[in-house]
């Protein structure tokens, strides 16, 4: 008996360097397609804040802009994927970041008869990433992302989505750490573009333009690969 792919929950990966817009676009896809955004960065920041063993081990590495060990990240992702809401389909933002993680993901999905629908590479110029990252901030209440130059709330300091008035900036969003994060991306994550291309699962999108235009292009890709 063959399983109808239409009935399988979608699994999409957003690839791209820090600042490419993975988190912003994942939130749009979450809203428009009913998918669940899984950000290993968010999961790790929550683990650091909660003071778990994984969080304690990850903290210094994250502050330095390096990659947390595959073992820690894979365990965190495995646990999150097992939660019931992920049955709606997921959009992975910031995972996988190494070939070991990509292979682990293939294995985890295979256990449930699943595989990824697509890995979508957000194509950007590195030079613009430092400006993008250093201007960004987030609503502490709902996680909506903003930017000093590219996406300001309608009322200064007040979240458009939830009305919250507490905005936060990430500790690792500074020029020095961003340089390390970009280096980690090119050395360890960029090879995944070839990995997914080899599996026929790679899609690319120019992610240098306007946020809404990129969302529109992504929506077409997602519709295409999930129908
Ligand atoms: P992000 O929020 O995706 O920019 O991730 C913030 C930081 O968390 C990264 O700079 C890494 O230190 C760590 N991190 C997030 N996801 C991963 C991952 N898949 N593998 C290793 N480290 C990760």
pLDDT digits (tens, 9 = 90+) for 30-87: 999 999 999 999 999 999 999 999 999 999 999 999 999 999 999 999 999 999 999 9
Bond from prior residue into 96 cis (ω within 30 degrees of 0) = yes
C-beta of residue 38 within 8 angstroms of C-beta of residue 85: no
- Find where tokens 């026929």 sit: 200
- Residue 61 pLDDT: 97
| Ligand 1 in reach of 73 Cβ (< 6 A) | yes
In which band, very low, low, confident or very high, does the pLDDT at 124 lie, cut at 50, 70 and 90? very high
Distances (CA, A) of 150 to 21, 79, 183, 210: 12, 35, 24, 9
Quick check: 5 pLDDT over 60? no
Q: Which pTM does this prediction carry?
A: 0.92
For residue 146, which phi and psi values (nearest 5 degrees)?
Answer: -135, 170
**Protein residue with least CA distance to atom 1, ligand 1:** 41
User: Which mutation among 94, 95, 185 tests ligand 1's pocket best, with the greatest number of atoms within 8 A of CB?
Assistant: 94
pLDDT tens-digit profile of 147-185? 999 899 999 999 999 999 999 999 899 888 999 999 999
Residue to substitute in 62, 66, 74 for testing ligand 1 pocket (most ligand atoms within 8 angstroms of CB):
62
User: Is the distance from the beta carbon of residue 21 to the nearest atom of ligand 1 less than 6 Å?
Assistant: no
Q: Answer positive or negative: Cα dihedral of 152, 121, 177, 43.
A: positive
Tokens of 109: 């999905």
């Amino acid at each position: 008996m063959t399983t109808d792919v239409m009935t399988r929950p979608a699994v999409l990966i957003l690839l791209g360097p820090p600042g490419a817009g993975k988190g912003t676009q994942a939130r749009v896809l979450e809203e428009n397609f009913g998918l669940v955004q899984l950000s290993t960065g968010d999961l790790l920041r929550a683990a650091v804040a909660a003071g778990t063993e994984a969080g304690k081990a990850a903290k210094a590495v994250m502050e330095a802009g390096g990659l947390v060990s595959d073992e820690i990240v894979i365990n965190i992702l495995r646990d999150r994927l097992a939660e019931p809401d992920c049955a709606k389909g997921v959009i992975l933002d910031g995972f996988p970041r190494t070939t070991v993680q990509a292979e682990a993901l293939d294995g985890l999905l295979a256990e449930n008869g699943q595989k990824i629908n697509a890995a979508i590479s957000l194509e950007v110029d590195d030079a613009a990433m430092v400006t993008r990252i250093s201007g960004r901030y987030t609503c502490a209440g709902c996680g909506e992302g903003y930017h000093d130059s590219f996406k300001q709330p309608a009322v200064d300091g007040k979240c458009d989505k939830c009305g919250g008035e507490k905005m936060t900036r990430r500790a690792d969003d500074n020029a020095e750490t961003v340089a390390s994060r970009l280096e980690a991306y090119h050395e360890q994550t960029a090879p995944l573009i070839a990995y997914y291309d080899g599996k026929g699962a790679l899609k690319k999108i120019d992610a240098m333009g306007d946020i809404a235009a990129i969302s529109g292009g992504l929506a077409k890709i997602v519709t295409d690969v999930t129908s």
